[in-house]
Amino acid sequence: MSLTDAAATRRPPEVRPPAHRRVGGRLLPAADLVALAPVVPITGAHWLLGAVFALLVLLVLAAQGQHRTRVCLRVSDQVPQLAIASGLPLVVLAPWSTGSGLLALAAAGLGGLVLGRAIFYAALRSGYRRGVIGEPTLVVGSGELAARIVESAQVHPEFGLRPRLARPSEVDDLAGFTRVLLCPDDAAEDALTALIRSSRPLSAEVYVVPRLPEIGTALPRGVTDELWGVPLIPLRRFGRMGSKRAFDVVLSGLMLTVSAPLLLVLAVAVRLDSPGPVFFRQLRVTGPGRTSEVLKLRTVRTGAAQGWAVAAEECTALGKWLRRTHLDELPQLLNVLRGEMSLVGPRPERPHYARSFGREIPGYRDRHRMPGGMTGWAQVHGLHGDTSIPDRARFDNQYIEHWSPWWDAVIVLRTAAVVLRAAVAAGLRWELGGRSPRHRRPARPRRQPGAHRAPGRGRRVVDLVRN
């Protein structure tokens, strides 16, 4: 099996390095807290105000990614981020304190953070030089730059790296390494991309070395890192999705509570409209190595074929209206609440189509790294129905690489707007008694699984379950 296939299908276990190798990352939040402790006696602020201030500062630092232990332990590079972390809490605390008191609190907090980190970094560098602690580091590359990085790490132990050099084709597991440095070249780009994606469930910090290290980047120094003059660009950590699950549980629970009466009425209507079960269940790939039965209200006659697309004549009268308004997707909130799906994520696909596309389309398997969603980044861009499968995979992987709770909220709002427009349009058609035959679109031919792009642009309506 190639590295690309292995990275796309295998999810490596969470293997954590020994605690002494991770001491920097574990102790940095504690060091910041100790540095903020003198703020209250220095400024004379109320202890509760000081405690809330310290908590907010730590939260901002965590959101900025400033609790990641840097390779280059230089506190001057982080002063702008520390200043932001000390200043933002003032917005929250303004109603409970005077302006001068808050400014003193922020100034003391910034000074404490800078001094505390300077002391902490000095102690960490001392431990690195003496060999007491260190970071097992994998340098992946086959060129002169990779060899230069290994040499720099060996000659300068104050960076704390214990390097091992490997070609991309020689790497099949990242367990046991706390840092991974990728040196890309034209011949290994696909292998490195697969390696990056396979590393995300692990605890390793992954960096990319720019192709032209002598040319500066537009990123601030507090965001980039450095190893003896060579810039390092850290990649986002992936795999800690607790906030995403909390978002799903809270929002899907609220939506189920609000829509329960409507769902009950629709279930009765489906039962009365045509014989058969109320719910339609279909097995879909809903995550890495996981399949689940995705629910929806039945919109077709019992026994109708369920291929790539459903012909209009196979839908019931009520089913056509449910599909236009997307109300047939409401039961999937139960899938979300049970943890089988997410509100936002790559659209779940039927297993045999997923296998077929995974063999034929680069990057398609990688979209299953995250739980499948009721809607997604590809869907709000109109990539559903008869649209490009490679484009969908590209948008899904872009979403996964740059995921954030805010992005989920934006996609949910955009989906709600599209669904609302579709519901209003369906209501108008219902009131007008439908379109006349001369305004009715001809039925589209069914799409075959092997076709990566079917004719037609597809409607710009979010298809929450159907592809």
pLDDT in tens, 62-103: 888 888 888 999 999 899 999 999 999 998 888 877 777 888
Asked whether the predicted pLDDT for residue 443 surpasses 50, the reply is no
Condensed to tens digits (0 to 9), the pLDDT of residues 94-150 reads 887 777 788 899 999 999 999 999 999 999 999 999 988 899 999 988 888 889 999
State percent of the chain over pLDDT 90.
37
pLDDT of 299? 86
Confidence of residue 442 (pLDDT cuts 50, 70, 90): very low
Confidence of residue 173 (pLDDT cuts 50, 70, 90): low
Confidence of residue 433 (pLDDT cuts 50, 70, 90): low
Q: Which residue's structure tokens are 């960096």?
A: 207
Average of per-residue pLDDT across 386-408: 88
Which is it for strands 225-227 and 230-234: parallel, antiparallel or unpaired? antiparallel
Asked whether the predicted pLDDT for residue 222 surpasses 60, the reply is yes
CB 86 within 8 A of CB 58: no
Does 350 or 204 have the greater pLDDT score?
A: 350
Asked whether the predicted pLDDT for residue 454 surpasses 80, the reply is no
Condensed to tens digits (0 to 9), the pLDDT of residues 239-288 reads 557 788 889 999 999 999 999 999 999 999 998 888 889 999 999 999 88
Confidence of residue 55 (pLDDT cuts 50, 70, 90): very high
Does 421 or 255 have the greater pLDDT score?
A: 255
**Domains, the chain, ordered by start:** 3-16+134-234 (3.40.50), 19-130 (no CATH), 242-439 (no CATH)
Asked whether the predicted pLDDT for residue 383 surpasses 80, the reply is yes
pLDDT of 458? 39
Task: Please list, in sequence order, all residues whose beta carbon lies within 8 angstroms of the beta carbon of residue 254, skipping any fewer than 6 positions away.
Answer: none
pLDDT of 216? 64
From 193, 201, 139, 129, select the one nearest 170 (Cα to Cα): 139
> CA–CA distance from 402 to each of 168, 227, 230 (Å)?
24, 25, 25
Q: What distance in Å separates the CA atoms of residue 262 and residue 270, rounded to the nearest whole number? A: 12
Asked whether the predicted pLDDT for residue 377 surpasses 60, the reply is yes
Does 11 or 73 have the greater pLDDT score?
A: 73
Confidence of residue 25 (pLDDT cuts 50, 70, 90): low
Which is it for strands 342-344 and 373-375: parallel, antiparallel or unpaired? parallel
Does 306 or 84 have the greater pLDDT score?
A: 84
Average of per-residue pLDDT across 421-429: 71
Q: What distance in Å separates the CA atoms of residue 287 and residue 367, rounded to the nearest whole number? A: 9
Task: Please list, in sequence order, all residues whose beta carbon lies within 8 angstroms of the beta carbon of residue 233, skipping any fewer than 6 positions away.
Answer: 207, 208, 209, 210, 217, 219, 224, 225
CB 184 within 8 A of CB 192: yes
| Exposed/middle/buried for residue 259 (C-beta within 10 Å: 0-12, 13-18, 19+) | middle
Asked whether the predicted pLDDT for residue 349 surpasses 70, the reply is yes
In residues, how long is the chain? 467
